[in-house]
Structure 1
């Protein structure tokens, strides 16, 4: 029994708005969630079956194939300090998706360079440009000797397809997984040393990708939209002092089952690193706390950093957070 039309979550997530350097998620108003239709009397097995039929569910994503493709060079850019920069493209469900690729100069280590699939946060698709925003972020990993690939996602900039959002449509997650598959095909990359970095919406995409592809070794999530969907439905951008929207127990269970957080045991020891500022006005610091609690309950390793008074982009601690993330990938990839 589906709660809503296929491909959409059983609640309406907020419409994102932009924030420099190009990432944000919640709107300026309160939640727009409508109470889902009740599922009184539906047994757990039927509830789980209903969840699995949703295209955004981890079960449905695992049933897809992610062949990726060879990376095709579209444009060569001015190089970085010790790495090359190119706009490339790859295939995702028959769509040409553009991406920004960095490759270290010099002789690669035995087996190839370690690589990071770099997943940006929300940027209005019609103003997105492959070479804009996240320059300092991507540069830190490139300088440290990692191949990085920042996918545009479908419908962004000159990439083909329709941009339908990162939460109630599977398309962006599919693009991330095909980006990882494309990196594995590159002879300069060690396919056994692949990780993910994600900010804001990109944190959600990275978490999903980790749970779908067991070959992805580790992920660093910054200000991620990583709380369970039951929390997103009731607590996201709720104005201070307003009552929390009610969810009946079965609908709350449905949202929990639909969340990536319901599958954290499938990480099987692959580590996560979490970063969040306490003054984040776009994605609440409580979302990191919620994921941390879920990881503890699932017995999975993680490290969580709290940046007192910092914002959504960790502007006050950017250098420190980047150094921590670089070291994390050196230790885990």
Structure 2
């Protein structure tokens, strides 16, 4: 198959960058659904926004006080896989979101479609574009808030949320920087052979055509298009859910594409970086302070 034919086949996939870039992401005003107990120096609210004709819920934090000139910087939080029926807007990732909220960032953690009370069907973050669409509309919605500086927008992603963040960053150039924790961020051809194939399980083989196709479908094939927007990586070597090698794969791809990357390796730590949580959060906050 010629390169042109391969790219045409990839572009027909709804999850491809070409297909995602052909869409629009208008977002909407953030509608307050419920006000929660405040944090130490910030407010907390459950809000909703529109994405692809669906009402999606999210957790919004806003610093108290007078915004800086131009508005507060903002970070869209992209959570990892949680069984959709078990997901609750106000649960999980509390300490993570709190660290950035206390540091003076507006944060918005989208539920994604089909999670909790959000409309739509949850179809996963790798073969279906839905969650990526919801993340991009979350970014568009937070940029509409008059308290936010739309030129100072970043993303934070964990596990599956790392993949969503990487793909969203390559669609929306307004996302200036991203911090990815334990991300499913290896190239798609690597995911096909190296994920959930640990221990005694035989690793599937890919012929050269399928390897080329999956590589072309992966956001890793388009990293030059980041055009210098930085990415920070964190991963524990004892992660039993997402192999540490996935971080190395993306870091190698970023360097080969000439893009700036910080990569932190936490020896013996798990999927949530429980043993180094304070350190990793401090590094992430410092990263956004330097790049937003």
Q: TM-score range by the shorter chain?
A: over 0.9
Query: With CA pairs under 8 Å and 6+ residues apart, which has the higher RCO, 1 or 2?
Result: 1
Secondary structure of the 1:159 match is coil
TM-aligned CA deviation for residue 43 of structure 1: 1.3
Partner of 1:126: 85
Partner of 2:44: 85
Partner of 2:168: 209
Partner of 2:136: 177
Partner of 1:51: 10
In 2: Cα distance, 1:121 partner to 1:239 partner = 20
1:89-130 alpha-carbon deviations (Å, 9 max, x no partner): 000011000000000000000000000000000000001000
**What's the TM-score, normalizing by structure 2?**
0.99
Say yes or no: does 1:149 pair with 2:104: no
Moved over 4 A (4+): none
Partner of 1:261: 220
| Structure 1 unmatched runs, 5+ | 1-41
TM-aligned CA deviation for residue 242 of structure 1: 4.3
RMSD of equivalent CA atoms: 0.7
Say yes or no: does 1:249 pair with 2:208: yes
In 2: Cα distance, 1:173 partner to 1:242 partner = 31
TM-aligned CA deviation for residue 183 of structure 1: 0.7
Partner of 1:95: 54
1:237-316 to structure 2, matched below 5 A, reads 237-316=196-275
TM-aligned CA deviation for residue 182 of structure 1: 0.3
In 1: Cα distance, 2:137 partner to 2:25 partner = 5
In 2: Cα distance, 1:85 partner to 1:311 partner = 29
TM-aligned CA deviation for residue 157 of structure 1: 0.3
Say yes or no: does 1:231 pair with 2:196: no
Secondary structure of the 2:224 match is helix
| Structure 2 unmatched runs, 5+ | none
TM-aligned CA deviation for residue 232 of structure 1: 0.5
TM-aligned CA deviation for residue 239 of structure 1: 2.5
In 1: Cα distance, 2:133 partner to 2:193 partner = 27
In 2: Cα distance, 1:166 partner to 1:197 partner = 15
TM-aligned CA deviation for residue 237 of structure 1: 1.7
- Aligned partner of 1:106 among 54, 65, 69: 65
TM-aligned CA deviation for residue 166 of structure 1: 0.6
In 2: Cα distance, 1:329 partner to 1:246 partner = 39
Partner of 1:15: none
Bigger share in helix: 2
Partner of 1:36: none
Partner of 1:72: 31
In 2: Cα distance, 1:118 partner to 1:241 partner = 35
TM-aligned CA deviation for residue 255 of structure 1: 0.3
TM-aligned CA deviation for residue 241 of structure 1: 4.7
